[in-house]
Chains A and B, each alone.
Chain A
Amino acid sequence: MTTHTLDSTAREAVASACAHVDDPQEADAVDGVPSGLVARPADTDQVAEVMRACAAHGLSVVPRGRGTKLSWGTPPRSVDVLLDLSGLDKVLDHAAGDLILAAQAGAPVADVQRTAGEGGQRLALDETVPGSTVGGVLGANTSGPRRTATGTARDLLIGITMVRADGVVAKAGGRVVKNVAGYDLGKLLIGSGGTLGVITDATFRLHPVPAAHRWVVVAVDSPAQALALAQEVVHSQVVPAAVEVDWAHGAGSLSVLVEGRADGVAGRVEAVRGLLGPAATETGDEPADGAAYPWDVTATGDRRSTALKLTCVLSGVADILAAADRSGVAVRGSAGSGVLYGALPPDTPVDDVRAALDRLRQACASNGGTAVVVDAPAAVKAAIDVWGPVPALELMRRVKDQFDPDHRLSPGRFVGGI
């Protein structure tokens, strides 16, 4: 492992700002880039102190929750300080009567769900990478099958506290769902990959946990059939919570989730079965072993698959499946919202990855969407364009320049080298 050493004055400054600092271990590298120091602040104030120290010494900073998605995106240009937020792990407040919950960025999503669940509520966001924290889910903007009905982080986040690159603490939004006072900074931070600021806590709207849920699954033998059935379901009156498609090696399935009140779900399941045909079967469990992505999210280094996020308009799903089929890419995802995920095995030659990506980018683009490489082995990331075309990139750079003028926050991990 290559190492990275901070000069002693800078190290001293960060150490005096933060309750815990440690020398980096191998696991503290970010996508192969070694970090100089691991700082583990205990609260928002300490995060601000660390950020001020880093600003004073020109140090680059990469925030980390539990590190479950730390290799996503492009490798950072440098990691002087790995800002470990796992110490900010508390669920702060659950106001069940108001259907809201606040948690620190390092709080595991599982803890959030446990707390919300005690009041018969949930954060309506699938935990697609087990072990994820609140901050990690926001930074990476992950979502799963239920996005068809309840949307994504941007539809659920109502308030946020962030620490800027210069150490200034700022809040936006608040504790009420309906609020149009000021700019919605939360939306800007969602999916920003830790490049605009450090999220330290977040407040969400919750949903009641439905009394009942059932999946109805049917095998499909062509992309066209998958699309036709998905269209039947989304245009019907069954109000699906999720419409998932799975497609690999020329065969696949379509799964429809119905959530609601017990009698209502029973009636709607019958309607779904009517749409999907006599071969459809019913289950209480999540199909496809519950995983949202067609790749192993725990694999690291060269054992990583090339993981793709493929988006399209709803009517484009068949085109994406067909293009994936021609490229040997296994696909799984939300036919109900036009967000699919693809995977190529870790040992796929770079040229094959490139050819598959080109074909998928074309298919996605002609259906209003994009193909982004979520994660991949280092050799793949080095050889291909991870992000593809990004409209309004110049405006994004201007936003970055305002929030982080010295480009010290997760430098290089985001679109266009941001």
Chain B
Amino acid sequence: MATPSDSGARVEAVADVARRLLPDDCVITDRTRLRTYECDGLAHYRVTPALVVIPRDAAQLAGLVRACAEHAVPFVARGSGTGLSGGALPHAEGVLIVTSQMRAIREVRREDQRAVVEPGVINLDVTRAATPHGYYYAPDPSSQQICSIGGNVAENSGGAHCLKYGFTTNHVLGADFVTPDGDVVTLGGAAPDSPGYDLLGAVVGSEGTLGIVTSTTVRLVRLPEEVRTILVGFGSTDQAGAATSAIIAAGIVPAAIEMMDALAIEAAEAAVHCNYPDGAGAVLVIELDGAAVEVEEEYAEVQRLCDDHGAFEQRLATDPAERALIWKGRKSAFAAVGRISPDYIVQDGVIPRTALPEVLSAIAELSGSSGVRVANVFHAGDGNLHPLVLFDDAVEGAGEAAERVSGAILDLCIEHGGSITGEHGVGMDKSKYMPRMYTDEDLDTMQLVRCAFDPQNISNPGKVFPTPRLCGEVPGRHKGAHPLQQAGLAEVF
């Protein structure tokens, strides 16, 4: 077991390597400056890292990771630090590797529908670079103006439009990757279906626990010919939920269907004056996109289905400004609840869409019986709930009460066959809930992957899994080579 002074000396050894590899201002050891990196987007977890390094390129990054491996120093990668599960929370005796200076968009190839970008590139900048070619980058987390592709890859970020277009994992084809040993390998490629295991599929969404991506080949999607964004007011979330189910049952796959309840609408109005329908118990933001002739037909049907399910107002955005205003209300919803509550917890549970009415009324009951207010904002199309559990930390016991309601909501999700996280990741925040969703055997099996990539357990340790697996020698591993291998024939196959 390492003593603190041991760990200090080992970090100092990595710092020495860092000073050789990087310019002075990219190696941070000053306590005050280190503290500016003490948290990510989930600010109630704070840990000051022992060292912060800001590599400019893949070779520097690999050199730093090799030094960490050699000295058994934990490292945590961080992009823009916008994550909502504490995935980029630093390690007190470790190195924080910040990728924000690796921000080149290396290639945009319209002919191949691909772009090659570095991990520090901001999500929206990929779309900005592709738009002149008639293309965009589809995954659009609400933080897309500031979050980085590296963080998106680590978290397998989604967004409002993943109902139709999928998540980061569906849009990443290849990556240059630094293993926790400091080895540089290529995963996937510019073309689909690389031979061998889909290691990239395991790495995307592994929350920085398998290594660090230094370059990513992403798929670009053709900008749709037509986009229609509709804001629909309903008397209740039940009506809005029924309309959502009817739209899906009609065989329509909208680009997005988002729902907000009365409390969330109130918050958004207070914050951004989005002018949502007066007196609505719930609103849906529905976006249809694609070939103009298809969208025209789908729009007529969506209008009819919403009317059938009690919509009292439907508003079609007729220009980009109106569309932006509709989305502003939705995309600012998390921050907006700050207007109506001093503190809040953002949850990220997922349920099968058909369980929506049942789960929403159970959340209302929880809220009623505990006296803790809950505002609901969610991706209704894919059942990804973002209940905002409101509390005032100045009131004694309020934080704990909110935490209990928040945990009970996750239990509801698991009971209904759902997930504890749809897009924010497990990180530091939800690792304790993993055993409620998975058995010990499930978690042990996942950690076989961890042991393959990171036997020393130094890449973002303490995240995702409640207890690490020991990656020692697996029993029975060394039984001697197969005769064919010994004969030198096995490799021929």
Contact = CB atoms under 8 A, between A and B. Distances in A.
Contacts of A406: 476-477, 479
Contacts of B474: 401-402, 405
Interface in A124-154: 141, 143, 147, 151-152, 154
B78 interface: no
A313 B193 CA distance: 11
Interface residues of A, number: 105
Contacts of A192: 197
A310 B432 CA distance: 45
Contact of B417 (A174, A211, A393): A174
A402 B199 CA distance: 14
Given A174-B417, A314-B113, A97 B353 contact: yes
A95 B199 contact: no
B201 A190 contact: yes
A57 to B, nearest CB: 12
A109 interface: no
A285 interface: no
Interface in A382-418: 382, 385-388, 390-396, 398-399, 401-403, 405-407, 411-412, 414-417
A154 B354 contact: no
Interface string B182-220: 010111011111111111011011100000000000000
B13 interface: no
Nearest to B479: A406
Contact of B422 (A95, A179, A338, A392): A179
Given A175-B417, A268-B294, A369 B191 contact: yes
Nearest to B297: A261
B452 A399 contact: yes
B476 A181 contact: no
Given A172-B442, A237-B291, A309-B193, A97 B354 contact: yes
A266 B423 CA distance: 38
Nearest to A315: B111
Given A315-B112, A398-B453, A211 B198 contact: no
Interface in B394-449: 417-426, 430, 434, 437-439, 441-446, 448-449
Interface string A169-180: 111101111111
A175 to B, nearest CB: 4
B119 to A, nearest CB: 18
Contact of A168 (B354, B444, B490): B444
Given A178-B384, A237-B292, A338 B192 contact: yes
Contacts of B197: 188, 191-192, 196, 396, 399
Contacts of A143: 193
Given A180-B205, A370-B195, A239 B290 contact: yes
B442 A386 contact: no
A235 B477 contact: no
A376 to B, nearest CB: 12
Contacts of A395: 179, 185, 199, 452-453
A316 B134 CA distance: 20
B293 A264 contact: yes
Interface in A83-137: 95-100, 120
Interface in A58-84: 58, 74-75, 77
A191 B134 contact: no
B291 A264 contact: yes
- Point out which of A75, A98, A207 has the most chain B C-beta atoms below 10 A from its C-beta: A98
B195 A390 contact: yes
Nearest to A384: B492
A261 B302 CA distance: 14
A403 B294 contact: no
A170 B190 contact: no
A182 interface: yes
A98 B423 contact: no
A192 B202 CA distance: 13
Contacts of A411: 482
- Point out which of A74, A176, A184, A416 has the most chain B C-beta atoms below 10 A from its C-beta: A176
A390 B167 contact: no
- Point out which of A368, A394, A403 has the most chain B C-beta atoms below 10 A from its C-beta: A368
Contact of B196 (A155, A312, A396): A396
Contacts of A415: 195-196
Nearest to A310: B191
28 contacts: A75-B493, A97-B248, A97-B249, A151-B166, A154-B169, A178-B158, A179-B418, A180-B423, A235-B134, A237-B225, A239-B222, A261-B294, A261-B297, A263-B293, A263-B297, A267-B291, A311-B192, A338-B192, A339-B191, A391-B186, A391-B187, A392-B199, A395-B185, A396-B196, A402-B448, A415-B196, A416-B491, A417-B493
Interface of B: 109-114, 134, 155-156, 158, 162, 166-167, 169-170, 177, 179, 183, 185-187, 189-199, 201-202, 204-206, 222, 224-225, 245, 248-249, 251-253, 290-294, 296-298, 350-354, 379, 382-384, 417-426, 430, 434, 437-439, 441-446, 448-453, 464, 474-477, 479, 482, 484-485, 490-493
Given A152-B192, A155-B166, A239-B291, 12 more contacts: A77-B490, A177-B382, A177-B383, A180-B167, A180-B422, A180-B425, A263-B293, A266-B293, A311-B193, A315-B112, A316-B191, A406-B477
